Structure 1
Amino acid sequence: MPATATLPPPAFAARATAVAGSPIREILALTARPGVISFAGGLPAPELFDTEGLRAAYDAAFAASAARALQYSTTEGAPELREAVAARASARGLATGADDVLITTGSQQALALIAATLVEPGDAVLVENPTYLAALQCFGQAGARVIPVPCDGDGILPDALEEIVARERPKLLYSVPTFQNPTGRTLPGHRRAAVAEIAARRGLWLVEDDPYGELRYEGTEVPWLAAHPGARDRTALLGSFSKVMAPGLRLGWLRAPAALRRAAVVAKQAADLHTSTVDQLAAAHYLRAVDLDAHIATVRAAYRERRDALLSGLGAALPPGSDWNRPEGGMFVWARLPEGWDATALLTAAVSRDVAYVPGAPFHTGSPDPRTLRLSFTTHTPAEITEGLTRLAGAVEAYCPVNA
């Protein structure tokens, strides 16, 4: 019997091939071998997880009702967890009710839901430059025209934002105003007020991503963008338990105006129906039984010491003429090498010495700055950080930039 001719299956959707994979994930895989000191991943310190408290919370969730814990639940989320999230947001100065909150599978899903509900192919989306890499992936997959807003060491420049909004008529501005990823910088209060005013006057959605806001080591709290007059009816606020409880829970939340939240609920139904019931109930039990603020204070103290260890050793590790910032909180220090140096090329020498960081170029929209790099200080002890910087200094000494 003659062979039957076959045709290949249809091509992938354009959005599946238009966006590259995350170079950070590739670096993390490269540095996963034992003995590597990695400043690359924005990972919480596992030894600081409250494993006993979380184990007890899961036991309590099953003891209360194993049938409920293992069953389907509502898309909006478990009422007791939504109430707990609302209470914590209200305590931080933003009056919030449980009905204002949608529980998501990590705050990354909240961002994807916002993109699904607001962004059409060709829409202009504004971002800080540089910005969170996965946000660039998310908006890229939605088909957006991603446009960078000029920033300085404090973040968005309101005058530049005004000019771009008038010219491009964007759908939304995405921002990480507090301890930004990748730079660690924090947008001052007066600039937040200006951004909120521009959004109200020009007609613009604001997407405020706040995974790091509770990790403050010094300085004064700055109110959320969402708390400013003019922003309250147009801000989607994204939060997460990943940095203060554990990322493996994959629990985040979205606070948004009613119409946007309802649209996000429909988008979530199409994505996963609802976030894990047992994880939500365990988190709710945990928040009732444990003083999360006291746990966060312990985490802050450890991370502050690690940040200081990194900052104190960078001068000896990086080449003369480098500069870096001093974040008041969060997980990252942003550095720039001297003219003629390339952080991606230097990484090869660093990995060969069992130390790693993330080059800054992928975080940029448009023309990247090849001299920049992001260093995370949360995963290693001060002693390990000191050793990592010694290895990095060896890589700097061995690397010879062509144009320096």
Structure 2
Amino acid sequence: MKRSFGWGEEQEHDLISLAGEGIESGLYPVSKGQMVQGDEISVETGADSRKSWMGESATAGLIDLINNVSSFQGHLRIEESSLLLTTGRMEALELLLGELVKSGDSVVVENPASPAVLEALHRRQVKVLPVDCDSEGILPEALKSCLSLQKPVLVYITPDYSDTIGTLWSSIRRREIVEITQGADIWLLSDRSSAAAPFAAGTEHSLGEGRSFYEIGREQGHDERIAELMSMDGHGIHAGWIRAGETLIQRLKDAREGRGSANSARDKRIRAEEARVRRIREAREGRGEVEDSCPAGVSAQLLVQHAAALNREYAARRAEALAVLAGSRALGAVCQHAAGSGRFLWAELPAGMDSAALLRAARLKGAAFLPGARCCAGAGNTRTLRLSLAEQSRQRLRLGLARICEAAEEFTARWEQ
């Protein structure tokens, strides 16, 4: 079946999903061969993900890479003993949850929260306690009340452009939450996996824009029960890491070995690279022989340029999406208070509309989105929704939004009759 949606040509009525969390292959880094131009490295989008020279090998030399980026942007260096490399966000999260919580425990999360994280918590049969947020982060008094009444073992937060409402927590709120959780002797897990590409120097999404909870805890002498994770797999680079005290890092390493992940090819590459980086450092310090090969992987300059290019693309797509929605009689109002950051747009439907009902109507037109209630541990706001700006090409993004607008206009027309 073909329909015309006003974009210049007939389109197949296939389902265009704007509900996912990944990015389309056109936004992956270009291949190594395409990057080198003369003596300079240029970063652009448009390469097939299978040809990405970063891809799954991006963990190579990641410790040095993190510190090179940190030095490039004027931040503190990260000690190797406090870092554990992972293959991405979910491996890091599963490792931490496996060590810090058990079935039947209670865990505090922001409301709303990442649907992937909520699913991971439910799989472990823990009680999820949602706490509301404002524009500066999770509400301190609401958190205090929850801690005193429910006695959770862990507070999980996403303070750096979360993949729902996209809030960047204020410095004051960060310090408040460290004081509250550490005063209650509860683990604080800060997930810095951002909806905006991290490390984009000179932009609002720079790594140093929001202070690390781990660093704040160290300054206050409360870092023993603080851990943070960060990943770049949401932006086409399959790598991540956990930062915590040496004791927890060693427990996580032991747990990963014990569960049999040592047989994983990717994990073997990670550990081999960790060992190789240590040998290179020892050689530089005169404690070993220098290897012939230089550290593999991604340069700090390349990563910074790639992140900046992605964020520019996300911003352009956001502007296009808002323009499409603004032209809709039914959905024009959602643009006035649209939130979200980076590759996601978070919006609230006009009064009288329900996102789950709109989703059913939109699917009949060939488009889908994520109802905001699915990002909530409780009932949630039934009028909210999340749109992925990066899962589809620009053309398919516009087409998917047009289908959603068409469904909304028919939906409201029936409601008004």
What TM-score results when the alignment is normalised by the length of structure 1?
Answer: 0.76
In structure 2, relative to structure 1, the CA distance for the partners of 1:149 and 1:401 (3 Å cut) is farther
Residue 236 of structure 1 aligns to a residue whose secondary structure is: strand
1:213-239: CA deviation from partner (whole Å, max 9, x where unpaired) = 545764782222222134533221111
The answer (yes or no) to whether the contact 1:350–1:356 under 8 Å persists in 2 is: yes
CA 1:95/1:232 → structure 2, altered by over 3 Å: closer, same or farther?
farther
Q: Which of 111, 128, 137 is equivalent to 1:155?
A: 137
Paired residue type of 2:327:
A
User: Structure 1, residues 30-79: CA drift from partner, whole Å, max 9, x if none?
Assistant: xxx9854432212224213224129999xxxxxxxxxxxxxxxxxxx988
Comparing 224-233 with 235-244, which one deviates more in the overlay? 224-233
Counterpart amino acid of residue 232 in structure 2: F
Residue 369 (1) aligns with residue 381 (2)? yes
Matched letter for residue 252 of structure 1 = G
Partner of 1:236: 227
Where does residue 10 of structure 1 map in the other structure?
none
**C-alpha distance in 2, partners of 1:321/1:176?**
28
Helix, strand or coil for the counterpart of 1:340? coil
- Number of the residue aligned with 1:300: 311
Measure how far apart 1:316 and its partner are: 3.0
DSSP 3-state at the match of 1:138: helix
> Mean alpha-carbon deviation: is it higher for 82-91 or for 278-287?
278-287
Residues 137 and 36 of structure 1, relative CA distance in 2, 3 Å threshold = closer
Superposed displacement of residue 162, structure 1: 1.6
State the alpha-carbon separation in 2 of the partners of residues 95 and 89 from structure 1.
Answer: 6
State the partner residue of 1:395: 407
User: How much does 1:286 deviate?
Assistant: 2.6
1:265 aligned onto 2:276: no
User: In terms of mean alpha carbon deviation, does 188-197 or 394-403 score higher?
Assistant: 394-403
Q: Is the 8 A contact 1:129 1:149 kept in 2?
A: yes
Does the 8 A contact of 1:309 with 1:385 survive in 2? no
Q: How many Å apart are 1:276 and its aligned residue?
A: 3.7
The secondary structure found in structure 1 opposite 2:234 is coil
List aligned pairs for 1:1-400, cutoff 5 A: 35-53=14-32, 80-88=61-69, 91=73, 93-212=75-194, 214-215=197-198, 218=204, 221-228=209-216, 229-230=219-220, 232-246=223-237, 249=238, 251-269=239-257, 270-273=259-262, 275-278=266-269, 285-288=296-299, 291-317=302-328, 318-319=330-331, 322=334, 325-327=337-339, 329-380=341-392, 382-400=394-412
User: How far did 1:81 drift?
Assistant: 2.8
SS class of match (2:130): strand
Are the aligned partners of 1:129 and 1:151 in contact in 2 as well (CA < 8 Å)? yes
What secondary structure sits across from 2:84 in the alignment?
strand
Deviations 1:322-371 (A, max 9, x none): 46645584221111113332211211221222222111111111222221
Q: For the residues of structure 2 that align with 1:308 and 1:199, how far apart are their CA atoms?
A: 38
In the TM superposition, residue 385 of structure 1 has moved relative to its aligned partner by 3.6
Verify the 8 A CA contact 1:322 1:335 in the aligned structure 2.
Answer: yes
* Contact 1:53/1:290, CA 8 A, preserved across alignment: no
SS in 2 for 1:207: strand
CA, structure 1 residues 267+151, in 2 after alignment: closer, same or farther (shift >3 Å)?
same
Q: Which deviations, in whole Å up to 9, do the C-alpha atoms of 1:78-135 show, x marking residues without a partner?
A: 8833332354456573441122111112111111111110102222210001101121
Deviates more, 1:228-237 or 1:356-365: 228-237
1:281, CA displacement in angstroms? 7.7
Could you tell me which amino acid in structure 1 is paired with residue 21 of structure 2? Answer: G
Q: Are the equivalent residues in 1 in contact too, given 2:110–2:133 (CA < 8 A)? A: yes
The residue type equivalent to 2:401 in the other structure is L
Distance in 2 between the 1:281 and 1:402 partners? 62
- What letter corresponds to residue 272 of structure 1 in structure 2? S
Contact 1:38 1:356 in 2 (8 A): yes
* Distance in 1 separating the partners of 2:311 and 2:171: 22
Kept in 1, the 8 Å contact 2:191–2:230? The answer is yes
Seen in structure 2, the aligned counterparts of structure 1 residues 170 and 52 have a Cα distance that, compared at 3 Å, is same
In structure 1, what is the Cα distance between the partners aligned to 2:360 and 2:223? Answer: 46
5+ long unaligned stretches in structure 2: 1-11, 37-57, 275-294
TM-score by length of 2: 0.74
AA aligned opposite 1:287: V
RMSD of equivalent CA atoms: 3.3
Contact 1:81 1:280 in 2 (8 A): no
1-structure distance, mates of 2:80, 2:268 = 17
Q: Distance in 2 between matches of 1:289 and 1:218?
A: 18
